[in-house]
Structure 1
Amino acid sequence: MSATPSETLPLACRRHDHQSCIEGAITTAAKICQAKAVKLTPLRRQVLALVWQSHKPLGAYTLIDMLAAADTRRVAPPTVYRALEFLLEHRLIHRIDSLNAYIGCPDPGHHHHNYFLICLDCGIAAECPTQYLSPAIEAAATAAGFAISSQSVEIVGRCPACRKHADA
């Protein structure tokens, strides 16, 4: 059976329940942390939940403001940066370099390349499946005699919903 057009869209581009994304991310993170014998502290859990809440990349200072709004005390920037570094180290989130912001990883705990589709209008960011880009990038690097240590590609445009809205 073939996928419907909406099923081929990245999750961030589909209408769905963000709460299930948050809960799934936290459950998976807890399992990964338990398997690695590291702690998913309340702050790390809270930062992960905020990163997953909308599929829009969030900067550290936006996260600090969101944490302050959810709590009566202000969390110091170094504390949030340490939480983000932990989440990055354990491959639970990704950093989008051009935006200096973070999004949740839909395939946490596994090493994979960072390919993102970023909407200019609504700001969502979705991971682009690697099977399309990896072979071309690796072939180009091999042809140039280049040894790749990491890959990150950021593709900027308009998501299907924004394109549909613009055409209406």
Structure 2
Amino acid sequence: MTEALPEARAFAAHDHSHCAGDTLARAEAEAARQGLRLTPVRKRTLEILLEAHRAMGAYEVLDRLAAEGFGNQPPVAYRALEFLVEHGLAHRVRRLNAFAACMHPGEEHAPVFLICRECDAVAEAAAAPVRAALDSVAQDLGFAIERANIEALGLCPACAEHQE
């Protein structure tokens, strides 16, 4: 039996500690490959995002960091989050004004974020065909896309089940 892709497990019951641990190890390897300094606060910020397995606001991350002695000033969280986003280790989920750990660190990918409107769970799904279609439409108009953030709002399987 083949193992499900990470995006297939996002809304399903799975060994989250294994999932988070694997992603953290890939993120650390990617940081080393890029020659980045993954300071204790940056690493802990990424761990917090992975532990939550959902998008988190900067102040929610800050509260966790402060409780663990990393400081309680907003720049502590914002700088760490911006670093992680800038280097492809986390994503900004604009719909929620929040951040989520990248589940594919070091891989070239075009994610789509599937956001549950009930529980705010977020799944990062690979969406190369969606990005290819977007690039094609833009090219037809002579537009060069530099960055795209695709987000879809709906119901995760658990919340959809409760709606029935």
Shorter-chain TM range is 0.7 to 0.9
Deviation at 1:123, TM superposition (A): 0.9
Do the aligned residues in 2 keep the contact of 1:91 with 1:111 (CA within 8 Å)? no
Consecutive unaligned residues of structure 1, counting only runs of 5 or more, are: none
Are residues 1:119 and 2:116 paired?
A: yes
2:103 to 79, 102, 106: 106
Partner of 2:134: 137
Instruction: Give the share of equivalent positions with the same residue, in percent.
Output: 37
Partner of 2:76: 79
CA distance in 2, matches of 1:13, 1:165: 14
One-letter amino acid of the counterpart of residue 77, structure 1: P
In structure 2, relative to structure 1, the CA distance for the partners of 1:21 and 1:76 (3 Å cut) is farther
Q: Deviations over 1:34-92 (max 9, x none)?
A: 222222111111100111113211011010112223x2563321122111122112211
Do the aligned residues in 2 keep the contact of 1:88 with 1:94 (CA within 8 Å)? yes
CA distance in 2, matches of 1:152, 1:73: 30
- Output the TM-score relative to the length of structure 2: 0.87
In structure 2, relative to structure 1, the CA distance for the partners of 1:79 and 1:131 (3 Å cut) is same
Q: CA RMSD, aligned part only?
A: 2.3
1:49 to 47, 50, 63: 47
CA distance in 1, matches of 2:5, 2:93: 24
Consecutive unaligned residues of structure 2, counting only runs of 5 or more, are: none
Q: Which moved more, 1:7-16 or 1:128-137?
A: 7-16
Partner of 2:25: 27
CA distance in 1, matches of 2:144, 2:70: 47
CA distance in 1, matches of 2:134, 2:8: 21
Do the aligned residues in 1 keep the contact of 2:89 with 2:101 (CA within 8 Å)? yes
Q: Which moved more, 1:42-51 or 1:122-131?
A: 122-131
Partner of 2:160: 163
